[in-house]
Amino acid sequence: MKAVQLYYPPEWAHCYGCGYLNAQGLRIETHWHPERGESETRFTPKPYHTAIPGFVYGGLLASLVDCHSTATAAAAKAQAEGLSLEAHPLRFVTASLKVDYLKPTPLGPELLLVGRAREVKGKKVVVETELFAEGVLTVRGEAVLVQIGEGFGRSGSAPGGG
Ligand SMILES: CCCCC/C=C\C/C=C\C/C=C\C/C=C\CCCC(=O)SCCNC(=O)CCNC(=O)[C@H](O)C(C)(C)COP(=O)(O)OP(=O)(O)OC[C@H]1O[C@@H](n2cnc3c(N)ncnc32)[C@H](O)[C@@H]1OP(=O)(O)O
């Protein structure tokens, strides 16, 4: 299954968190499961992604939730509208991001993020994300994502235009 991010056209693929063209970035890959209406991203932090020894830096966790949410929004919107991302590479930016750190997240294991759209309305999608380390829920996120118009970032047009 092709990751949602790999459908982004090159001009939208420089993001530090999820751009496949950012060699220094996290380059997360999000997979959409239409039958469950859920997205999944797996990411293993590096040893230098440290808060205190043994635990993951919260800013990194917020970045993972952020970019996982933008991809979830694109996939959920595509499904809601019956569109294929291949033909319609939707792209969302983050308007609002809330992150609850429920427990310290251990540094070492692979992390699993699971997302679902709570609301798909016009150009706005609200996404909830849960982040698990070894099956334990450690972070919960909620994000409001707004779709950018086609051509955005290509011609310098205004946010939301299109
Ligand atoms: C760096 C991105 C900058 C933003 C866009 C610029 C360029 C885009 C070009 C290419 C993008 C390519 C790749 C993107 C890369 C990375 C993505 C990863 C995630 C990020 O790293 S991204 C960076 C951080 N991000 C920003 O830098 C956003 C700055 N911001 C804005 O550019 C505008 O603010 C925008 C577009 C968000 C909305 O502007 P707008 O005019 O289109 O929106 P509008 O007012 O029509 O609202 C529509 C519905 O969203 C609701 N809504 C709006 N804002 C809300 C808020 N804060 N809280 C709760 N709800 C909110 C309204 O309530 C309404 O909902 P309802 O319909 O229900 O009333």
Cβ contacts of 135 within 8 Å, gap of 6 or more: none
Which of 8, 77, 93 has most ligand 1 atoms within 8 Å of CB, for mutation? 93
pLDDT tens, position by position, 19-36: 999 999 999 999 999 999
Fold held by 4-147: Thiol Ester Dehydrase; Chain A (3.10.129)
CB-CB contact of 144 with 92 (8 Å): no
CA distance linking residue 157 with residue 151, whole number of Å? 8
Q: Find the residues whose C-beta lies inside 6 A of ligand 1.
A: 12, 15, 17, 66-67, 70, 91, 93-96, 121-124, 144, 146, 148, 152-153, 159-160
Choice between 107 and 161, residue whose per-residue pLDDT is larger: 107
pLDDT at position 55 is 98
CA 9 to chain centre: 16
Verdict on whether the full-model pTM lies above 0.90: yes
Supply the mean pLDDT for the chain.
Answer: 93
Q: State whether ipTM is beyond 0.90.
A: yes
User: Would the pLDDT of 162 be above 60?
Assistant: no
User: Would the pLDDT of 161 be above 50?
Assistant: no
User: Domain residue spans in the chain?
Assistant: 4-147
Which of 123, 124, 148 has most ligand 1 atoms within 8 Å of CB, for mutation? 124
Ligand 1 centroid from CA 106, angstroms = 32
Q: How many CB atoms lie within 10 A of CB 23?
A: 7
Residue of the CA atom closest to atom 49 of ligand 1: 124
User: Helix (H) and strand (E) counts for the chain?
Assistant: 1, 6
Residue 16 CA: nearest ligand 1 atom is 16
Ligand 1 centroid from CA 87, angstroms = 23
Element spanning 79, H or E: helix 58-81
pLDDT tens, position by position, 38-70: 999 999 999 999 999 999 999 999 999 999 999
Residue 77, Ramachandran bin (φ over 0: left; ψ between -120 and 50: alpha; else beta): alpha
CA distance linking residue 92 with residue 98, whole number of Å? 16
pLDDT tens, position by position, 81-98: 999 999 999 999 999 999
